[in-house]
């Protein structure tokens, strides 16, 4: 049972994840709907945090060390439309890198689990 490869391993591990992050951030920073969110951000830090987050979400060896997603995205005006554009870029990046459709669906599914944290902001319990 423990011998089954993780989703992280099935998409190609560290090499693929690094390529995904590089390509993906090129896409989102060129997107007119998304680029304003990154205007005053450290892209180096964002890439590092996204690498940790996606790696951990795919059962890779990474551990996400950033603040809660709800806290980081609170008050930024991120809507479901923005989230959908973001995940569409991720989907296209994975396809362009040759990741299998079954794995792509699983990656997107895992990212979609966090939609409320990203578009909903901080709840009263945070």
pTM, 2 dp: 0.88
Instruction: Check residue 125 and give its pLDDT.
Output: 40
Instruction: Check residue 112 and give its pLDDT.
Output: 95
Instruction: Check residue 122 and give its pLDDT.
Output: 45
Instruction: Check residue 77 and give its pLDDT.
Output: 92
Query: C-alpha dihedral over 26, 32, 36, 41, to 10 degrees?
Result: 0
Q: List helix spans (H) across 66-114.
A: 69-73, 80-96, 101-112
| CB neighbour list of residue 118: distance below 8 Å, 6 or more residues apart | 69, 70, 73, 78, 83
Helical axes 80-96 vs 13-30, angle rounded to 10°: 130
Per-residue pLDDT of the chain (126 residues; tens, 9 = 90+): 568 999 999 999 999 999 999 999 999 999 999 999 998 889 999 999 999 999 999 999 999 999 999 999 999 999 999 999 999 999 999 999 999 999 999 999 999 999 999 998 544 343
Instruction: Check residue 120 and give its pLDDT.
Output: 81
CA distances for 126 relative to 69, 92, 117, 122, angstroms: 11, 33, 11, 6
Structural domains in the chain, sorted by start: 7-120 (1.10.490.10)
């Amino acid at each position: 049972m423990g011998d089954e490869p993780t989703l992280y391993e099935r998409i190609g591990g560290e090499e693929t994840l690094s390529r995904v992050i590089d390509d993906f951030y090129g896409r989102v920073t060129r997107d007119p709907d998304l680029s304003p969110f990154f205007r005053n951000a450290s892209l180096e830090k964002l890439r590092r945090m996204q690498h940790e987050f996606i790696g951990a979400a795919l059962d890779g060896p990474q551990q996400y060390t950033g603040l809660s997603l709800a806290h980081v995205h609170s008050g930024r005006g991120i809507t479901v439309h923005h989230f959908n554009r973001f995940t569409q870029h991720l989907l296209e990046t994975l396809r362009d890198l040759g990741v299998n459709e079954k794995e792509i669906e699983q990656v997107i599914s895992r990212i979609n689990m966090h939609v409320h944290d990203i578009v909903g902001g901080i709840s009263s319990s945070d």
